[in-house]
Amino acid sequence: MIAQEFQIKLILPHGAENVLIKIGGQEYDMSLVETSTSEGYLDFNGRPTFTIPSFTGSPKDKYFEVSYDFAANKTYEKQISLTAIVFGLLLFAIFIKRFKLAAFEDSKSE
């Protein structure tokens, strides 16, 4: 592949901290990396995204190594919150059905 400049975009999982990027065995200067968040399907806070704007040189024989800290409880955060939302909606429906509210009664015409 022949190119003069590349743009490398790394999207990490939600909750990734202390990110260290190595390219070709050497640590990359994190002050040159642009950070942002990427929104995906069912993302509440977004995922950290790191963009290396102008990577020059050939990617041949260069290995990218990304290391970061990740808390194990972040894995289940999305599942627990979705379960709580569905459970809350079901409780609300039960409340509406159980207590016959005046707004939902059928009007009888005599």
**Residue 33 shares a structural domain with residue 55:** yes
Name the burial class of residue 33, with classes exposed (0-12), middle (13-18) and buried (19+) by CB atoms within 10 angstroms of its CB.
middle
**Residue 51 shares a structural domain with residue 92:** no
CA dist 86 and 56 (Å) reads 49
Mean pLDDT rounded to a whole number for the chain: 82
pLDDT given at position 23: 81
DSSP 8-state assignment for residue 106 = P
pLDDT given at position 84: 96
**Residue 75 shares a structural domain with residue 64:** no
Considering the domain boundaries, does residue 82 fall inside one?
yes
Which is more confidently placed, 45 or 92? 92
Domain containing residue 41: 1-70
Number of domains in the chain: 2
Mean pLDDT for 33-43 is: 85
Helix (H, G, I), strand (E, B) or coil at 65: strand
**Residue 35 shares a structural domain with residue 57:** yes
Which is more confidently placed, 15 or 86? 86
Check whether 109 has a pLDDT greater than 60.
no
Strand order in the sheet with 17-23: 26-27, 17-23, 64-69
Check whether 95 has a pLDDT greater than 90.
no
Considering the domain boundaries, does residue 109 fall inside one?
no
Q: Residues 6 or more apart from 64 whose CB is under 8 A from it? A: 8, 21, 22, 23
Backbone angles phi, psi at 51, to 5 degrees: -120, 125
User: How many C-beta atoms lie closer than 10 Å to residue 48's C-beta?
Assistant: 19
**Residue 39 shares a structural domain with residue 77:** no
**Residue 19 shares a structural domain with residue 30:** yes
Which is more confidently placed, 90 or 71? 90
Mean pLDDT for 20-25 is: 84
Q: Residues 6 or more apart from 56 whose CB is under 8 A from it? A: 4, 5, 6
Considering the domain boundaries, does residue 77 fall inside one?
yes
Check whether 16 has a pLDDT greater than 80.
yes
